């Protein structure tokens, strides 16, 4: 009996679905093979296309920065593995860039459907989906772009950094962090949930332990 997989959209805070796949680096079991690492799993519409080529070069240019964050990159499209391999060869030969991260060959579209990467109104290819997954296999962030719009890789890198600091320090990150228009590179202390804590916040602000606009908007340097 053929397995029927309904298109679905993974939810933030949930474990990503497990799957096995053929990649340009061999077979993988996901997320099991990446336990203990952050992962950016992203789909692209097709090999040998201009926007996708520019994206892969941009990802590779930042690959070492991702690795310093204990984060791996994994690409995916519904092309066959032979197409991925030839495309990587072309990028290296013509552009002088060696793509060092694996690309999943989802030629049956099974994984793309499992993760909601195919949007029928945008065609039969995968859209530009981005999933940021933490070391426990939990989906922490996702971003979708249409085929005609290339991604900003610095934003994806920023999101991984921000999530890691948020986890480590128990803080939230403001808009455009670390270049926020109100508090610069400082981070937000979660709002007080009771009156006693709210009063303590203002007292601590007076003692210069951190800064506050009000009890519900306090912030500090990342320490």
pLDDT digits (tens, 9 = 90+) for 92-103: 999 999 999 999
Burial of 191 per CB tally in 10 Å (0-12, 13-18, 19+) = middle
Is 71 one of the annotated active-site residues of the chain?
no
Distance, in Å, from the CA atom of 32 to the CA atom of 7, rounded to the nearest integer, reads 22
Q: Where are the domains of the chain?
A: 19-152, 170-223
pLDDT for 191 equals: 87
pLDDT, residue 2, reads 43
Report d(CA 73, CA 58) in Å as an integer: 12
User: Which of the following is catalytic: 52, 71, 212, 218?
Assistant: 52
Residues 6-34: tens digit of each pLDDT: 556 789 999 999 999 999 999 999 999 99
For residue range 122-169, list pLDDT tens digits in order: 888 999 999 999 999 999 999 999 999 999 999 999 999 999 999 999
Confidence of residue 205 (pLDDT cuts 50, 70, 90): confident
What fold, for 19-152?
Glutaredoxin (3.40.30)
Question: Is CATH 3.30.1020.10 correct for 170-223?
Answer: yes
Rounded to an integer, what distance in angstroms lies between the CA atom of residue 13 and that of residue 159? 15
Query: Is it true that 19-152 and 170-223 share their CATH fold?
Result: no
């Amino acid at each position: 009996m053929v397995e029927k997989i309904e298109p679905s959209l993974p939810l933030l805070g949930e474990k990503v679905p497990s799957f096995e796949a053929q990649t340009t680096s061999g077979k993988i079991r996901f997320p099991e093979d990446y336990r203990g690492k952050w992962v950016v799993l992203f789909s692209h519409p097709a090999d040998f296309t201009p926007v996708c080529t520019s994206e892969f070069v941009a990802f590779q240019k930042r690959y070492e920065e991702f690795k310093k964050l204990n984060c791996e990159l994994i690409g995916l499209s519904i092309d066959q593995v032979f197409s991925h391999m030839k495309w990587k060869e072309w990028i290296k030969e013509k552009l002088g860039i060696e793509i060092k991260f694996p690309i999943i060959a989802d030629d049956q579209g099974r994984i793309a459907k499992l993760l909601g990467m195919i949007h029928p109104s945008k065609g039969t290819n995968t859209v530009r989906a981005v999933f940021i997954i933490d070391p426990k296999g939990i989906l922490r962030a996702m971003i979708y772009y249409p085929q005609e719009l290339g991604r900003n890789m610095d934003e994806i890198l920023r999101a991984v950094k921000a999530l890691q600091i948020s986890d480590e320090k128990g803080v939230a990150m403001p808009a455009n962090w670390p270049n926020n228009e109100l508090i610069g590179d400082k981070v937000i202390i979660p709002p007080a949930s009771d009156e006693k804590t709210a009063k303590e916040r203002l007292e601590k602000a007076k003692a210069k332990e951190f800064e506050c606009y009000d009890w519900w908007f306090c912030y500090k340097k990342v320490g």
